[in-house]
Amino acid sequence: MTIRVSLDDLPETVSLHYGTSAYIITSAGILSPRVTNVEVIFDQVIVEPNPVDNNTNEPKQQQTIIRTRLGKSACKELKANQNLTILWPANSYVSTNGATGGKRENNEEKDTMVLSLIVDERLLTNIPPEGGGEIEIVPLSAMQHAPRTL
């Protein structure tokens, strides 16, 4: 089961069901993907319209970004490939009608399941910090996934 999460709802979904600890997956394309446990912070920034793609006078837009810190090796991979994924492991329950329900308590519902949250992202700036440090990333899509069973 897959449930699309609106990017507008992403900060609230993470806050209510997952928390700030997540795993970032980076890959330079040559070696195995690198998985790093990080703390993430959601923030809002003002983004200028792209002048190449925009011949109109569109106003600046507010956009949700995620801030986190990565080490030297992960930043080196981001130089080669600026796309990454953030994974929040299965921690939230959802009813079969699609409404999120948070963590189960003693009164478990039979029609609920545990879900992971997977967010595809790209680096906001073209160059990650040398030697590691804070990065800003832009969410592109977000999905909650139920584990496949055998």
Cite the DSSP H helix spans in 1-143. 10-17, 72-80
What pLDDT is attached to residue 112? 60
Report whether 63 contacts 47 (CB < 8 A): yes
Give yes or no for residue 51 having a pLDDT over 70: no
Average pLDDT, stretch 69-73? 91
Give the start-end residues of each E strand in 34-124.
34-39, 41-47, 61-70, 83-95, 100-102, 112-123
**Nearest-CA neighbor of 137 among 26, 4, 61, 9?**
26
What pLDDT is attached to residue 150? 60
What pLDDT is attached to residue 48? 65
pTM for this prediction: 0.77
Q: Pick the more confident residue, 52 or 28.
A: 28
Q: Pick the more confident residue, 103 or 33.
A: 33
What pLDDT is attached to residue 104? 46
Average pLDDT, stretch 31-40? 91
Average pLDDT, stretch 79-101? 74
pLDDT band at 43 (very low <50, low <70, confident <90, very high): very high
Looking at residue 84, its amino acid is L
Rounded distance, CA 19 to CA 17, Å? 6
Average pLDDT, stretch 40-64? 71
Give yes or no for residue 101 having a pLDDT over 70: no
The pLDDT tens digits for 115-128 are 899 999 999 877 78
What pLDDT is attached to residue 94? 55
